[in-house]
């Protein structure tokens, strides 16, 4: 019989922690979990779910415009930020309740308070202390804001969902997927948007053609994209917030959103005190089974910064529970994980970028098509779509798929199975496409546009 209060205690009730807790309980473990915020984590409460609802809301502006090209007469359209926020909040409340019900139905004991390690097997929960044979850290990440004069006048991505009013003028600082998504959201809702990024193209880490197309399309949609520059300081005045650039230029906006990355949420958890190894940026160091340097303490999700995506955290949490409590060792393979950017236009990608493939794999062939989506032949919009395949020369295995354009994430999800399974270009070519679709380009491109090696 265990001498601990719980077989497993999970600190953090986000997607990864909740999945691990439920699966472990299903294997017969006695499980407790704590959460100092709302159950559901970054994705459900202040991340991908409310953000994608915002993307849907923002896209109606273009849909109304495009309808005219198809014979529709569209009347005056007005957007109400308060009505949208109320609808969004109601949906997040519903999902929060669903997650709480999932834990209750699984027999997991929920503590709605902060958890802190005070010993190798001890967790302080407010005024109470519990013990556990195994501990899982699933506290996710938090926004990172730089230290510069006036940074207190800026907001982070967590704060956007609770703004009382829509700002007329917004400066979005950053060039990653969160920055690009919010730039598109505010632009679609009618705000004047300036996006500022110190790099030479948006979406660092993505394929170079994806970066080029997204940067150009955001500019074409009316977003002022300022590259290779940065903010020196912020100052509040009677007209709004002054954004002082490094080159001395000053612009005034109503809101400054910093989307310059996230860092592991480990402050004050007591990890170092019990011997858990962490990187300088706070990342918990784990092995392929998600075990930390302390053999009974594990970590999953963004707090490990392996791949910061909700489905990855869920997969890691499930694999951990099967390994530790299900008698089935399940190391997590992070190769060929698909991802999406819900920018406007959206991005879907899986596998190696062209540059990374050349560096890590060797000789490759590149198949690529850029075209105007069929929808816009009548809408009149000049937006371009990109479809790209990266193929290993030696065995013709498809090692990268990159799409920018309507429904890109939906298309890539299916093709990710093919890439993960190691299918070849010939097997792609032997698959008959669905016509007329954009996705058929992935099985009809016959000649490489360039080769490396």
- Report the side by side order of strands in the sheet with 240-245: 231-237, 240-245, 250-253
The ranges assigned to domains in the chain are 6-141+263-325, 151-260, 345-452
Assess whether the region 6-141+263-325 and the region 151-260 belong to the same CATH fold: yes
The b-or-e profile of 42-75 (16+ CB within 10 A means b, else e) is: bbbbbbbbbbbbbbebbbebeeeebeeeeeeeee
The b-or-e profile of 78-101 (16+ CB within 10 A means b, else e) is: eeebeebbeebeeebeebbeebbe
Give me the residues paired with residue 111 across strands: 34
372: tokens are: 């105007």
Q: What is the pLDDT of residue 1?
A: 47
| Alpha-carbon distances of 169 from 5, 224, 238, 279, rounded to whole Å | 53, 11, 14, 38
- Candidate list 134, 153, 219, 435, residue with the active-site label: 435
231 neighbors 173 (Cβ within 8 angstroms): yes
The span from the CA of 185 to the CA of 36, in Å, is 29
pTM (predicted TM-score): 0.95
Give me the residues paired with residue 241 across strands: 236, 253
User: In which residue are the tokens 């949609």 written?
Assistant: 221
Does 151-260 carry CATH code 2.40.70.10?
Answer: no
| Alpha-carbon distances of 17 from 10, 49, 311, 368, rounded to whole Å | 6, 17, 12, 40
Q: What is the pLDDT of residue 305?
A: 87
- Burial (CB < 10 A; 0-12, 13-18, 19+), residue 139, is buried
As averages over each run of 10 residues, the pLDDT of the chain (453 residues) reads 89 97 98 95 92 96 94 93 96 96 97 96 96 98 95 96 96 97 97 97 96 96 96 95 94 97 95 96 96 97 94 97 97 96 97 97 97 93 96 97 97 98 98 96 97 90
Please report the beta strands in 352-404, taking only residues with DSSP state E, as ranges in sequence order.
Answer: 364-371, 385-392, 398-404
Decide: helix, strand or coil at residue 31. Answer: strand
CATH superfamily of 6-141+263-325: FAD/NAD(P)-binding domain (3.50.50.60)
Annotated active-site residue 435? The verdict is: yes
CATH superfamily of 345-452: FAD/NAD-linked reductase, C-terminal dimerisation domain (3.30.390.30)
191 neighbors 221 (Cβ within 8 angstroms): no
191: tokens are: 């705000």
């Amino acid at each position: 019989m265990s001498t601990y209060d719980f077989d497993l205690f999970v600190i953090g009730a986000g997607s990864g922690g909740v999945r691990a807790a439920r699966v472990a309980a299903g294997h017969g473990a006695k499980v407790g979990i704590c959460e100092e915020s709302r159950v559901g984590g970054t994705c459900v409460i202040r991340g991908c779910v409310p953000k994608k609802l915002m993307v849907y809301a923002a896209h109606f502006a273009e849909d109304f415009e495009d309808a005219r090209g198809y014979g529709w007469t569209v009347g005056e359209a007005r957007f109400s930020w308060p009505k949208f926020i109320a609808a969004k909040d109601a949906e997040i409340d519903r999902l929060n309740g669903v997650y709480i019900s999932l834990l209750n139905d699984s027999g997991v004991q929920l503590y709605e308070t902060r958890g802190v390690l005070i010993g190798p097997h001890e967790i302080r929960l407010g005024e109470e202390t519990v013990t556990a044979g195994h501990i899982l850290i699933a506290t996710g990440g938090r926004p990172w804001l730089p230290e510069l004069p006036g940074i207190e006048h800026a907001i982070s991505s967590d704060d956007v969902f609770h703004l009382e009013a829509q700002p007329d003028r917004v400066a979005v600082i950053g060039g990653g997927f969160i920055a690009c998504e919010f730039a598109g959201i505010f632009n679609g809702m009618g705000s004047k948007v300036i996006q500022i990024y110190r790099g030479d193209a948006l979406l660092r880490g993505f394929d170079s053609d994806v970066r080029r197309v997204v940067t150009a399309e955001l500019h074409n949609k009316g977003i002022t994209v300022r590259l290779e520059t940065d903010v020196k300081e912020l100052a509040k005045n009677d007209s709004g917030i002054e954004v002082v650039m490094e080159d001395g230029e000053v612009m005034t906006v109503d809101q400054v959103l910093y989307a310059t990355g996230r860092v592991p949420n480990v402050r004050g958890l007591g990890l170092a005190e019990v011997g858990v190894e962490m990187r300088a940026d706070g990342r918990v160091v784990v092995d392929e089974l998600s075990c930390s340097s302390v053999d009974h303490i594990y970590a999953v999700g963004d707090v490990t910064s392996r791949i910061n995506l909700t489905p990855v955290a869920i997969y890691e949490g499930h694999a951990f529970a099967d390994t530790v409590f299900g008698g089935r060792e399940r190391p997590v393979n992070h190769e060929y994980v698909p991802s999406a950017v819900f920018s406007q236009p959206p991005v879907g990608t899986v596998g190696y970028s062209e540059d990374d493939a050349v560096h890590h794999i060797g000789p490759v062939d590149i198949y690529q098509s850029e075209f105007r989506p069929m929808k816009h032949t009548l809408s009149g919009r000049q937006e371009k779509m990109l479809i790209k395949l990266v193929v290993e020369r030696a065995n013709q295995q498809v090692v990268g798929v990159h799409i920018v354009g309507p429904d890109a994430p939906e298309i890539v999800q299916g093709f990710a199975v093919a890439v993960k399974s190691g299918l070849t270009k010939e097997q792609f070519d032997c698959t008959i496409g669905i016509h007329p679709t954009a996705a058929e380009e992935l099985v009809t491109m016959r000649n490489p546009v360039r080769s490396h090696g």
